[in-house]
Structure 1
Amino acid sequence: MKKRVVITGLGVAAPNGVGIPAFTHALQNGISGIRHDAQLEELQFSCQIAGQPQISEELKAQYFTELELRGLNSTGILYGVIAGMEAWNNAGLPINENPDWDSGAIFGAGTSGIDKFRESIYKIDELQIRKLGSTVVAQTMNSGVSAYLGGKIGLGNQVTTNSSACTTGAEAILMAYDRIQSGQAKRILAGSTSDSGPYIWGGFDALRVCSSKFNDKPEEGSRPMSASAAGFVPGSGAGAFVIEDLEAAQERGAVIYAEILGGNINSGGQRDGGTMTAPNSIAVQRCIKTAIENAGISADEIDAINGHLTATTKDSLEIENWTKALGRNGADFPYINSLKSLTGHCLSASGSVESVAAVLQLHEEFLFGNINCSDLHPEIAALIDPSKVLLKTIKFNPKIIAKASFGFGDVNACILFKKFEN
């Protein structure tokens, strides 16, 4: 019999809310975190709006020592530690004096400390190598975020960082699920983070895939599934979970936010229409179907989908892939939403931040609305009943939500979250 795996802690640093209470409030009230970015304007980016968590000095001081903060300019580590520590505290778990051999971390990142890299290159070029500081390695190694979290909590099980573009967060959750299922850990702090700023976002701006038509109206810029979608809005942040063996969770009387039924990760191999930037539709459909099989449910049991849906030309294709994978369309299609309308595309953090939103919908019994989608794309309206694309938050009691993430390199992940029932 398969072990049951549950979520006992949540943490988030999102553009529209840092901390679970603020983020939940933003979801329920359609509050956007997309703002004008003066630095992007100064650098003459086409897209001059972005979603970036607002972190106060007081909040930093809660999680980092004065010494740590002195040389810290890796936003990815900052967001990841804040979200990860919130999830750990939220789960009611202690900071360990000795290594906790049963607890680990799988916390993904796209890059780490790109601003620190830039600062270091200038110092090296100016022959100031001794002025680099003692934290350069920890801030710039990709596994910096999991290393910081492992040290702050005292984790003695696997502590690692995965990286698979926009699929990173969903992949981390499924890797944690697998490790607990196999009995190699009782709990894993799982999630992902993404750095902020022009050195992360510049490449996408150069690819002309970012929204440039709404620089004077930032909150209207991210428009998943809309006929007037004009590219994605870059974002950043982190999402985190304590994922735990059900027995271990019940033994300590933990609050259980949701159950992870299973999922699937695959790749389209950049074949059959799949490229570095475009999905292989067969692989996407196969990923969703296999995730449903792995979860031991039928496609008819899915009440809602939290899509990848980036506000690019691929949104219609994603909906078509869902209809084919589920064998459901028109009025039979589940409700579907995209967090990117409220946060922009948080890149390597997107899967984890969006999964936090999916789990909150199960636990708090609502579905958040898709802002900026009153003009639903006609290709989508031809596939599913427009009423399934909610424009405003509704009270709803979903039992099962499917979450998918699709990333650069033609990689895919799909997770099935269920409202917990003892």
Structure 2
Amino acid sequence: MDNRVVITGLGVCAPNGTTLAEFSEAIKNGISGIRHQPDLEALNFSCQIAGKPELSEERVSQYFTPLELRNLNSSGIVYGVIAGLDAWKDAGLTIENNDEPDWNSGTIFGAGTSGIDKFRWAINKIDDLEIRKLGSSVVIQTMASGVSAFISGKLGLGNQVSTNSSACATGAESILLAYERIKTGQATKMLAGSTSDSGPYIWGGFDAMKVCTFKHNHEPEKGSRPMSETASGFVPGSGAGALVLESLESALAREAKIYGEVLGGNINSGGQRGLGTMTAPNPVAVQRCIKAALQNAGIKASEIDVINGHLTATTKDALEIANWKEALQLPAERFPYINSLKGMIGHCIAASGSIECVASILELSEGFIFPNINCEDLSVEIKTLIPEKSIPQTLIQQPINILAKASFGFGDINACVIFKKYTS
């Protein structure tokens, strides 16, 4: 079986917008969601700014029962459930409390960690010999698959229910795994996405690695600077993104809105060989991933209108551009537009790919290219690789047909998805 796979629902819980409408408006206007974080300052973090979704208790209570909220202490699960359920509703699908599961629908919803604050709370209880006071919610909030389990229970999903975890490639990978499930006829609908916890216990390790910027604590919105000559490290972020993938046959049968189509993609690893390490990409693997994604999608490099890059505001940005250039083998003047959402939301770790895929689908469906902010002083090295016009710093309104989205993660792992504007 070889089903066409389309996107019929979007949901997002991002630092610069926790509804689809807010998020769309923010990315079009280059609005940052990066803020000063008093807790990071109090803990003497080098980087005291971060991107964190702003949610009211009232908003959260719309997605969880009072019993669930009583002991809920996992920001990643909260973000994931909100994005996931919003995507489901956006697809025009109902949430019903039926006795029978929906055997044709499932979820692959990724995470890097789960319930790290809950886990710390539990450790303190054990250290204080209060193990009997842990309660019954510790396991479901700290198990890696907690987010997909919560979502599945709320939607009654009866097909594959899994949580994938591939560092910063998690979100893009979840979409490709869900795509394959539908393409091969094993499912009709799949909710794909990923989430990432917020707070010092998830961000502290990166601060200790000295990969986060420390130069913009006094001006948070200027801190995340992908492709900038003055980029000095990434700004940590958090949140979740979700997409409903569905067979074209099913979407047409129920007259669903179709945002775009997944043409294919590729997932690979550099094996931490050559120039690849636990934290650095193997350029050969990155280039192979991009080339294989194009081949799998059945398109030529010249057909790509926009690249939504990984581009984290580190020294690896120029290497990523060089890898795209080598993989696509296009003349400089034909290089596509390329942008990075991380200037507005920071690096949302495991959630980065899914949030950025939501932004990519909005670009495709609405016909715009969001601006790259904070790179007015474009990297000198990047200028030698591609024309400056390929890196728009203001909103561009124009039709887009094909968009390539890639994510590269710790462990030397890569994922590249090819999206296309839907045509019958």
Kept after mapping to 1: 8 A contact 2:277/2:411: yes
Q: Secondary structure at the match of 1:401?
A: strand
Aligned-partner residue type, residue 115 of structure 2: G
Kept after mapping to 2: 8 A contact 1:339/1:354: yes
Q: Secondary structure at the match of 1:63?
A: coil
Q: How much has 1:75 moved relative to structure 2?
A: 0.3
Specify the alignment match of 1:126 in structure 2.
Answer: 128
Distance 1:68 1:122 in 2: 21
Structure 2: 5+ residue stretches without partners? none
Specify the alignment match of 2:83 in structure 1.
Answer: 83
Range moving further from structure 2, 259-268 or 96-105: 96-105
Specify the alignment match of 1:94 in structure 2.
Answer: 94
Q: What aligned pairs does 1:379-390 form with structure 2 within 5 A after superposition?
A: 379-390=381-392
Q: How much has 1:231 moved relative to structure 2?
A: 0.2
Kept after mapping to 1: 8 A contact 2:229/2:377: yes
Specify the alignment match of 1:19 in structure 2.
Answer: 19
Range moving further from structure 2, 175-184 or 94-103: 94-103
Kept after mapping to 2: 8 A contact 1:329/1:383: no
Aligned-partner residue type, residue 183 of structure 2: Q
Kept after mapping to 1: 8 A contact 2:108/2:161: yes
Q: TM-score, normalised by structure 2?
A: 0.99
Distance 1:144 1:112 in 2: 7
Q: How much has 1:263 moved relative to structure 2?
A: 0.1
Specify the alignment match of 1:213 in structure 2.
Answer: 215
Aligned-partner residue type, residue 416 of structure 2: C
Q: Deviations over 1:145-188 (max 9, x none)?
A: 00000000000001010000000000000000011111100010
Q: CA RMSD in A?
A: 0.7
Q: How much has 1:2 moved relative to structure 2?
A: 2.9
Identity, in percent, stands at: 67
Distance 2:84 2:213 in 1: 30
Q: How much has 1:394 moved relative to structure 2?
A: 1.3
Q: What aligned pairs does 1:192-203 form with structure 2 within 5 A after superposition?
A: 192-203=194-205
Q: Deviations over 1:187-227 (max 9, x none)?
A: 10110000001111111101110010000000000000000
Q: Secondary structure at the match of 1:18?
A: coil
The change in CA–CA distance for 1:43 and 1:329 in structure 2 (over 3 A counts) is farther
Q: Secondary structure at the match of 1:105?
A: strand
Distance 2:53 2:95 in 1: 26
Kept after mapping to 1: 8 A contact 2:12/2:20: yes
Distance 1:237 1:328 in 2: 35
Kept after mapping to 1: 8 A contact 2:269/2:412: yes
Q: Secondary structure at the match of 2:333?
A: coil
Q: How much has 1:279 moved relative to structure 2?
A: 0.4
Q: How much has 1:125 moved relative to structure 2?
A: 1.1
Distance 2:6 2:152 in 1: 21
Q: Deviations over 1:70-94 (max 9, x none)?
A: 1111000000000000000000112
Q: How much has 1:412 moved relative to structure 2?
A: 0.1
Q: Which of 206, 215, 234 is equivalent to 1:204?
A: 206
Distance 2:281 2:305 in 1: 25
Distance 2:289 2:339 in 1: 19
Distance 1:212 1:95 in 2: 44
Q: Does 1:222 align with 2:216?
A: no
Distance 2:2 2:343 in 1: 37
Kept after mapping to 1: 8 A contact 2:11/2:83: yes
Aligned-partner residue type, residue 255 of structure 1: K
Q: Does 1:42 align with 2:54?
A: no
Specify the alignment match of 2:70 in structure 1.
Answer: 70
Q: Deviations over 1:303-324 (max 9, x none)?
A: 0000000000000000000001
Specify the alignment match of 1:60 in structure 2.
Answer: 60
Specify the alignment match of 2:5 in structure 1.
Answer: 5
Specify the alignment match of 2:304 in structure 1.
Answer: 302
Q: How much has 1:330 moved relative to structure 2?
A: 2.1
Q: What aligned pairs does 1:283-362 form with structure 2 within 5 A after superposition?
A: 283-362=285-364
Q: How much has 1:329 moved relative to structure 2?
A: 4.4
Q: Secondary structure at the match of 2:193?
A: strand
Distance 1:274 1:329 in 2: 27
Distance 1:276 1:383 in 2: 26
Aligned-partner residue type, residue 9 of structure 1: G
Kept after mapping to 1: 8 A contact 2:408/2:414: yes
Distance 2:18 2:137 in 1: 25
Specify the alignment match of 1:174 in structure 2.
Answer: 176
Specify the alignment match of 1:103 in structure 2.
Answer: 105
Specify the alignment match of 2:51 in structure 1.
Answer: 51
Specify the alignment match of 1:188 in structure 2.
Answer: 190
Distance 2:163 2:157 in 1: 14
Count of residue pairs brought into register by the alignment: 422
Distance 1:106 1:163 in 2: 10
Distance 2:331 2:407 in 1: 20
Distance 2:216 2:330 in 1: 34
Distance 1:74 1:340 in 2: 23
Aligned-partner residue type, residue 350 of structure 1: S
Q: Which of 248, 255, 271 is equivalent to 1:246?
A: 248
Aligned-partner residue type, residue 213 of structure 2: S
Q: Does 1:29 align with 2:29?
A: yes
Range moving further from structure 2, 72-81 or 389-398: 389-398
Q: How much has 1:66 moved relative to structure 2?
A: 1.2
Q: TM-score, normalised by structure 1?
A: 0.99
Kept after mapping to 2: 8 A contact 1:329/1:384: no
